[in-house]
Structure 1
Amino acid sequence: MSASRITLVNPNSLAKVTEAISRAVEPFRRLPLEFRCLTSTGGPAGIQTQAEADASIAPMVPLFRQEAPATDAFIVACFSDPGLHGLRDLVSVPVLGIGECSVLTAMSMATRIGVIAIASASIPRHLRYFRAMGVAERICGELALDMKVSELADAELAFQRMAAVAATLRDAHGADVLIMGCAGMADLRDRLQEACGLPVVEPTQAAVAMAAGRIFGRV
């Protein structure tokens, strides 16, 4: 009997982000699951603005249709969850968004959620999404690293900025759990958690955990 497959789609066109997504699923590879991580090559090079999020949706459609026959669950691997509801209409298997899954996971861990964004331009869009989800009152703050997605390759710079933002969310905003608001930061989760002393939710891992539950529970 073949392993169930989870297909993770990176809506932007940066292969390095897809590689980071693949590394994020490493803790789950001991499960009887197969992971397929794909780059939407027609998507924008990074998703910060609403326009970029919207532009990323159409290029994902052919990937979903192509992969659906061999996929047991899809994950939209962008914190904005672009096209999530429309993509759910396209296929008969579960489609999860890493933004939604990370918030739901964080809500199960603590009361006051702090979010670390890559860029300030992303924050208004995220806040609209939290309001649409009905969870805005649980978000005590969202602050940006003000880095381009491509700059995350400098792991030390990314960590130093992330640790500073995490400390501000903890001390000035009262956060008692943090969400890493991007798909490309999983490599730094353990180190950040140790540095700030708070639980840290990595969105791709949160989505994979929920997808595995849907597959094994068949719900």
Structure 2
Amino acid sequence: MTGPIVVINPNSNQAVTDGLDHALAGFRGAARIECVTLAEGPFGIESQRHVDQVALPLSALIETRPDAAAFVIACYSDPGIDLCRATAKVPVFGIQESGVLTALARGDRFGIFAIAEASIPRHLRYMRRMGVDHRLAGERALNMSVDESARGEGTLARLTEVGQDLIGDGADVLILGCAGMARHRVPLQAALKRPVIDPTQAAVAMAMGAVLA
């Protein structure tokens, strides 16, 4: 590997980027990983408008990093994924796609923690595009903001409550449906006694596989 894996947080909330950086600490012995914040992004990506508005700035940021060995777009809606792949000369991984593919390798049916109800139809459209929606046990919303998911005092308790509902839906593996939830993966997995996938970790693992091979 000659360059870093650049993990881009498409919102402008530095606390989310800091959480990603912490969640990826264990990967740094095997790869150079750089977490960056898209300054032009909204404070949280919480609507289709937000998803669409960051596509061009993401592509522009990628053009400024010819040193990168791979990119990870660290937002669960995989904003601008097609444009970024057309722009980059190296692999680009979206965390929703990577998280779902990893979950399929860990269990039969997966459940997703969404930030809000409005996110669910957007995620379902993408899973239909991937052809994996028949493996979805359910997606349930925390009904909080991206910032609350990253820094809220009650986030872990809410994740545990919703996770138990997803297990009741038939999920045997669970996916954190927002990059801001990254710091809660380990305690949540211990509480639920089911595999919990942090999709940014999943995407970085795929990026490492691509560039190290």
TM-score (norm 2): 0.96
Q: How does 1:68-147 map to 2 (within 5 A)?
A: 69-147=66-144
Distance in 1 (CA, whole Å) between partners of 2:125 and 2:5 is 28
Distance in 1 (CA, whole Å) between partners of 2:152 and 2:186 is 13
Structure 1 counterpart SS, 2:45 = coil
Q: Which residue of 1 aligns with 2:49?
A: 51
Q: Which residue of 1 aligns with 2:145?
A: 148
Distance in 1 (CA, whole Å) between partners of 2:4 and 2:151 is 31
Q: How does 1:172-191 map to 2 (within 5 A)?
A: 173-191=169-187
Assess if the C-alpha contact under 8 Å between 1:3 and 1:34 holds in 2.
no
Shift of 1:154: 3.7
Mark the CA change 1:188 to 1:132 in structure 2 (over 3 Å): closer, same or farther: same
Q: Which has the higher mean CA deviation after the structures are superposed, 173-182 or 15-24? A: 15-24
Q: Which residue of 2 aligns with 1:39?
A: 37
Q: Which residue of 2 aligns with 1:25?
A: 24
Shift of 1:4: 3.6
Distance in 2 (CA, whole Å) between partners of 1:41 and 1:4 is 22
Q: Over the residues paired in the alignment, what is the CA RMSD in angstroms?
A: 1.2
Distance in 2 (CA, whole Å) between partners of 1:105 and 1:153 is 22
Aligned partner letter, 1:194? A
Shift of 1:61: 1.9
Structure 1 counterpart SS, 2:125 = helix
Deviant stretches of 4+, over 2 Å:
152-156
Distance in 1 (CA, whole Å) between partners of 2:27 and 2:17 is 16
Runs of 5+ unmatched residues, structure 2: none
Structure 1 residue 198 corresponds to structure 2 residue 194: yes
Runs of 5+ unmatched residues, structure 1: none
Q: Quote the sequence identity (%).
A: 46
Aligned partner letter, 1:21? L
